[in-house]
């Protein structure tokens, strides 16, 4: 079970249609990427990375992805989440990327 933080609740709006990508990595880390169109037609993106026990390692909300379709934003978000989950990109507050075998 994921332990959602404030960023997720700022994102959450059950009245807007969204698409999502959920994935669990071999070490138990999971990613949750969601994309939607706002009421004004802006492409919006949520990126979440969660530890094996469900604790949020990263939650990001992008209120607008100008010039991107929902599909393109979802692909970008999944790539970003995977990079953070695997250590290819540092999580906020980390000085250097983690290296995993």
3-state secondary structure string across the chain: CCECCHHHHHHCCCCCCEEEEEEECCCCCEEEEEEEECCCCCEEEEEEEECCCCEEEEEEEECCCCCCCHHHHHHHHHHHHHHHHHCCCCCCCCCCCCCCC
**Can you tell me the mean pLDDT for 55-81?**
96
pLDDT band at residue 59, thresholds of 50, 70 and 90? Answer: very high
Could you tell me what percent of the chain has a pLDDT over 90?
Answer: 66
pLDDT reading at 21 higher than 80: yes
pLDDT band at residue 10, thresholds of 50, 70 and 90? Answer: confident
Could you tell me what percent of the chain has a pLDDT over 70?
Answer: 91
pLDDT band at residue 98, thresholds of 50, 70 and 90? Answer: low
pLDDT band at residue 95, thresholds of 50, 70 and 90? Answer: low
- pLDDT at residue 96, as a whole number: 52
pLDDT reading at 97 higher than 60: no
């Amino acid at each position: 079970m994921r332990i959602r933080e404030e960023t997720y609740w700022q994102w959450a709006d059950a009245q807007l249609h969204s698409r999502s990508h959920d994935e669990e990595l071999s070490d138990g880390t999971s990613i949750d990427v969601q994309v939607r169109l706002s009421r004004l037609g802006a492409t919006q993106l949520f990126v979440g990375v969660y530890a094996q026990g469900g604790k949020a390692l990263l939650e990001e909300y992008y209120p607008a992805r100008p010039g991107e379709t929902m599909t393109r934003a979802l692909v970008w978000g999944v790539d970003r989440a995977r990079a953070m989950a695997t250590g290819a990109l540092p999580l906020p507050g980390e000085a250097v990327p983690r290296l995993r075998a």
